[in-house]
Chain A
Amino acid sequence: MTWDDMQPLLHDATIETLQMVGIATLVTLLLGLPLGILLVLTDRGGLLRNRPVNKVVGAIVNVGRSLPFVILLVALIPFTRWVVGTSIGWQAATVPLAVGAIPFYARLVETAVRGVDGGLVEAVQAMGGSTWAVVRKALLPEALPDLVSALTTTVIALIGYSAMAGTVGGGGLGNLAITYGYMRFETGFMIVIVIELVVLVTLVQLIGDLVVRRLSHRGAATGLLARLRRA
């Protein structure tokens, strides 16, 4: 295969991957974040402590995380058809991707929010804040760098999962690598695709780290930098 043969294929596959991962990430953020916070709040010692709710949500998250993605992809076909109206194509692949990533991100959110000093929760309560105020003013802003870092990990995991989307005709870079590189023995093409994936993942990680660094005001190092910048 020549570069001219590869280019249009690469172009389409890249767009597909970005669409799948992008939409799945958005849905994951929208649903995984509240779920993770709910896990912390309903747990023992939490502000909304509620054992039954905590157990049920925890169990659902665990089941979601233990299912292999390929199985999820197939098992969810009826649900996928109900949500997006089709069970093939990149649109269909976004549903299992999101369903797989939501519990993954929820657990990471849980860990991040748990890391917030309990004293801050108490401070907001002492100044007359409601549970909602505690979440909005203390838990989320203080956990933000960790939440972004968790999202970076999730996006990268989604890029990996999206390779399997080919099973339902979802397309994307991973699918291209398998159908051309593996099945048709186009090793050169496979190397190109793998390089693109490496670049993509590295880029996501770099952007994530950059955002995290901008958001943290904790260490003395950031303090020093800020002071130098102001001087």
Chain B
Amino acid sequence: MITTKDLTKVYTSRGRQVSALRGVDLHVREGEVYGVVGTSGAGKSTLIRCVNMLERPTSGTVTVAGVELTALRGSEHRAGRELREARRRIGMVFQHFNLLSSRTVQENVELPLEITGLDRAARRRRAAELLELVGLGGKAGAYPGQLSGGQKQRVGIARALAGDPKVLLSDEATSALDPETTRSILGLLRTLNQELGLTVLLITHEMDVVKSVCDSAALMRDGRIVESGTLTDLLSDGTSELARELFPLGDSAGPDGTVLEITFQGDSSGRPFISQLARTYQIDLNILGAAVETIGGRQVGRMRVQLPGFHQDNVVPIGYLREQGLQVDVITETGANAFGSKGVLA
């Protein structure tokens, strides 16, 4: 639904060149919620703004819903007619909402429809529908200045949906909100994704956002995507930095023995495999850390356990765990602490 190929963006300021994007290939499938995470300055904001050409990439292509936007006419600040029409089919929500303070909630939602030239009655009907959809049916006549942050973002979402887009871009939409409001806004995005089949591309610096709504994720650093994939795939990849960040178990390797990291997804999370292991092989297990979370609607758990003895002493129990459909990664052997905390987003 959204594809970027070898996207680069170079800013020139006072003769100095700064690369914000250094060859980004992004592929967002229809109907999924895709999260791009990274620290500030990683280039994620530039990336999402390149998707609807608010920033024109220096090179590379952007294709949204089959239309190659980079091929459409227009400078960075003045879009040609075709690009403007393409933008009407891409909704966007912003971190600071960007609502017009001089218009009521209803008039704010009507704004994109005024631009497309819909008549007054139809605009009114559509705005009322959208406000109902985002749970603000009673606030049509209020001004943005009278609303809370969460309500403002709901207006922002309703406005973004006015043109009935297939794609929604979310630029740190929850970063200015408190945790509880963040949850409700993310819940709304999820609902819209499921009920309207909306494809959502969001950027965020918060892992929790990815954890609670995303189907797929990408990690950005220094203008590049260093890792990407569906959350399910990322979590079953023992070397994934994103997976580690989604599941921070700390840095608690014991002094000796073999430390394993066990990841389980779906139905295997319901089985008591640890006690089965201890009973079957008469091993004294030491649990160093564990977490179970719901990620993208699936139960996923990770546990770090310490077994006595060297790796070769534990081949049989490790084999047993793998047979159970669990994913097992051997982290350390006898004091050799190979795993340090890799702070991806610290």
Contact = CB atoms under 8 A, between A and B. Distances in A.
B209 to A, nearest CB: 21
A215 B103 CA distance: 10
Contacts of B87: 125-128
B103 A131 contact: no
Contacts of A126: 52, 54, 87, 90, 92
B98 interface: yes
Contacts, number: 87
Consensus secondary structure, chain B interface: mixed
A133 interface: yes
Given A120-B98, A215-B102, A217-B101, A223 B115 contact: no
Contacts of B77: 46-49
B98 A123 contact: yes
A137 B54 contact: no
Contact of A128 (B101, B102, B116, B146): B116
Contact of A144 (B54, B90, B102): B102
Interface in A105-147: 117, 119-120, 122-131, 133, 137-138, 141-142, 144
A124 B90 CA distance: 12
B96 A119 contact: yes
Contacts of A49: 77
A46 B162 CA distance: 27
Contact of B145 (A129, A131, A218): A218
Contacts of A137: 100, 111, 114-115
A131 B115 CA distance: 11
A119 B172 CA distance: 13
B88 A127 contact: yes
A127 B168 CA distance: 11
Contacts of B85: 128
Interface string B327-345: 0000000000000000000
Contacts of A215: 102
Interface in B98-139: 98-103, 111-112, 114-116
Interface string A202-226: 0000000000000101111011001
A121 to B, nearest CB: 9
A227 interface: yes
Contacts of B101: 142, 217-218
Given A123-B99, A127-B111, A220-B146, 9 more contacts: A117-B96, A123-B98, A126-B90, A127-B115, A127-B160, A137-B114, A142-B101, A142-B102, A215-B102
6 contacts: A123-B99, A127-B87, A127-B92, A128-B115, A137-B100, A220-B145
